[in-house]
Structure 1
Amino acid sequence: MIAVMLEILGSALLGLGLAAAAAVLLAHRLPARRLVLLAGGIGALLGAYVTHEALGPGHVLVTLLGSLGVSAVVVSLLLRPAAQAAAPAPAHRAVP
């Protein structure tokens, strides 16, 4: 029972930490910070649930790694394309 509580708490903290780091490092490419933190936390809890159900009890470290992976995927889905500089207009050729 305590191991499951540690998995839940640990995965939520890992997801929030990953989302906070992404929100700081990629602020120009992500939506509102609150949405990024929410997505990271929920993704981590979902990843912990799926990993725990797949492996069973007793795999705390692997469950936390699974939650971190799913959280990273969910946060990466929020990324917008980087703003690129406008391409220069093509040169017009004179038609002979």
Structure 2
Amino acid sequence: MILEALGSAVLGLILAWAATHRLGHRLPARPLVLCTGGAGALFGDFVTHTALDPGTALLSLLGAAVISVASLSLLLRPTGRLRRRSATA
């Protein structure tokens, strides 16, 4: 179980690192993104491990990746090209 948690944390950090390189202009500071990716992966592993049997390590890692990507997507900012004027302006 410790190796599963360590693997999911590393997976979350890898996903966060890839997100900072691919979408760095749309994300906040790098330490926040890395912490969010790792914490999201650990939470996803915990939820998947609790919902399924303890013997499903691959499914737990899949759940960790899904929750990590979902939490990283919440940090994305708009590109700025879609500015719309309000009705009062």
- Normalising by structure 1, we get a TM-score of 0.83
Question: Aligned partners of 2:16, 2:37: CA distance in 1, in Å?
Answer: 5
Aligned identity (percent) is 56
Q: Does residue 75 of structure 2 align to residue 78 of structure 1?
A: yes
Offset at residue 56 of structure 1 (A) = 2.0
Change (3 A) 1:82 1:59: same
Q: Tell me, which stretches of 5 or more residues in structure 2 are unaligned?
A: 85-89
State the partner residue of 1:11: 8
- Normalising by structure 2, we get a TM-score of 0.90
Q: Alpha carbon RMSD of aligned pairs, Å?
A: 1.4
User: Deviation above 3 Å: which 4+ runs of structure 1?
Assistant: none
Q: Does residue 43 of structure 2 align to residue 66 of structure 1?
A: no
User: Larger Cα Rg: Structure 1 or Structure 2?
Assistant: 1
